Structure 1
Amino acid sequence: MASRSLFALLVVAAAMCASVASALRSRAATDPNMEVKFDFTPFLIQYRSGRVQRLMGTTVVAPSLDVRTGVVSKDVVVDRSTGLAVRLYRPKHRGGRLPVLIYFHGGAFVVESAFDPVYHNYLNALAAKAGAIAVSVNYRLAPEHPLPAAYDDAWTVLRWVAADMQRGADSWLARRGDASRLFVAGDSAGGNIAHNLAMRAGQHGGGATIRGVALLDPYFLGKYVDPTAQRAWGFICAGRYGMEHPYVNPMALPAASWRRLATSRVLMTVSDLDRLGPWQRAYVDALRGSGWPGEARLYVTPGEGHCYFLNNLESPKAAMHMATLAAFINRDT
Structure 2
Amino acid sequence: MSVESTTGGEIVHAIWDILRIHKDGSVVRLMGCEVAPASIDPQTGVQSKDVVISPETAISVRLYLPKSALNPSTHKLKLPLLVYFHGGGFCIATASFPPYHNFLNSLVAAANIVAISVDYRRAPEHPLPTAFEDSWEAVKWVISAGDEWVKNLADLERLFFAGDSAGGNIAYRMSIRVGLEMEWLSSSGAKLVGIVLVHPLFGGEESIGSELEVNAAVKSDYDNLWRIVWPSVKSLDDPIINPSMDPNIARMGCERVLVCVAEKDGLRDRGWCFYDAVKRSVWKGTVEIVKTAGEDHVFHLFNPTGDNALAFIKMLVSFFNEEIRN
Q: Residue 61 of structure 2 aligns to a residue in which SS?
A: strand
State the partner residue of 1:278.
269
Distance 2:206 2:249 in 1: 22
Q: Is the alpha carbon distance of 1:135 and 1:241 closer, same or farther for their aligned partners in structure 2, counting shifts above 3 Å? A: farther
Residue of structure 1 aligned with 2:313, choices 309, 317, 322? 322
Distance 2:223 2:48 in 1: 38
> What is the letter of the counterpart of residue 280 of structure 1?
G
State the partner residue of 1:11.
none
State the partner residue of 2:215.
none
Residue of structure 1 aligned with 2:176, choices 186, 192, 199? 199
2:202 is aligned with 1:220: yes
2:104 is aligned with 1:123: yes
State the partner residue of 2:55.
80
Cα contact 1:185–1:215 (8 A) shared by 2 = yes
Distance 2:101 2:40 in 1: 11
Q: Residue 193 of structure 1 aligns to a residue in which SS?
A: helix
> What is the letter of the counterpart of residue 216 of structure 1?
V
* 87-96 vs 301-310, which moves further: 87-96
2:176 is aligned with 1:183: no
Q: Residue 297 of structure 1 aligns to a residue in which SS?
A: strand
Q: Residue 129 of structure 1 aligns to a residue in which SS?
A: helix
Give the TM-score, by structure 1 length. Answer: 0.86
2:116 is aligned with 1:157: no
Distance 1:242 1:154 in 2: 23
Distance 1:118 1:230 in 2: 26
Residue of structure 1 aligned with 2:76, choices 95, 98, 104? 95
Cα contact 1:43–1:110 (8 A) shared by 2 = no
> What is the letter of the counterpart of residue 249 of structure 1?
N
Q: 1:245-324, aligned counterparts within 5 Å? A: 245-254=238-247, 257-324=248-315
Residue of structure 1 aligned with 2:91, choices 106, 110, 131? 110
Q: 1:124-143, aligned counterparts within 5 Å? A: 124-143=105-124
Distance 2:143 2:281 in 1: 28
* 236-245 vs 140-149, which moves further: 236-245
Distance 2:154 2:104 in 1: 16
Distance 1:157 1:253 in 2: 23
Coordinate RMSD, CA, aligned: 1.4
Residue of structure 1 aligned with 2:45, choices 66, 70, 76? 70
- CA offset at residue 143 of structure 1? 0.1
Q: Is the alpha carbon distance of 1:114 and 1:253 closer, same or farther for their aligned partners in structure 2, counting shifts above 3 Å? A: same
- CA offset at residue 64 of structure 1? 0.4
Q: Which has the higher contact order (CA 8 A, sep 6+)?
A: 2
Cα contact 2:33–2:93 (8 A) shared by 1 = yes
Distance 2:98 2:206 in 1: 35
State the partner residue of 1:26.
none
Cα contact 1:103–1:185 (8 A) shared by 2 = yes
State the partner residue of 2:128.
147
- CA offset at residue 241 of structure 1? 4.3
Distance 2:253 2:154 in 1: 20
State the partner residue of 2:231.
238
Q: Residue 303 of structure 1 aligns to a residue in which SS?
A: coil
Distance 2:76 2:301 in 1: 29
Cα contact 1:84–1:153 (8 A) shared by 2 = yes
Q: Residue 73 of structure 1 aligns to a residue in which SS?
A: strand
- CA offset at residue 43 of structure 1? 1.5
Q: Residue 259 of structure 1 aligns to a residue in which SS?
A: helix
Distance 2:103 2:220 in 1: 33
Q: Residue 36 of structure 2 aligns to a residue in which SS?
A: coil
> What is the letter of the counterpart of residue 108 of structure 2?
A
Distance 2:259 2:225 in 1: 24
Cα contact 2:203–2:223 (8 A) shared by 1 = no
Distance 1:143 1:220 in 2: 18
Q: Residue 115 of structure 2 aligns to a residue in which SS?
A: strand
State the partner residue of 1:58.
33
Cα contact 1:33–1:48 (8 A) shared by 2 = no
- CA offset at residue 227 of structure 1? 3.8
Cα contact 2:240–2:246 (8 A) shared by 1 = no
* 305-314 vs 184-193, which moves further: 305-314
Cα contact 1:185–1:213 (8 A) shared by 2 = yes
Distance 2:193 2:171 in 1: 13
State the partner residue of 1:15.
none
The count of aligned residue pairs is 296
> What is the letter of the counterpart of residue 43 of structure 1?
I
Q: Which runs of 5+ in 2 are unaligned?
A: 1-6, 69-74, 208-218
Cα contact 1:234–1:242 (8 A) shared by 2 = no
Distance 2:232 2:8 in 1: 23
Distance 2:305 2:195 in 1: 24
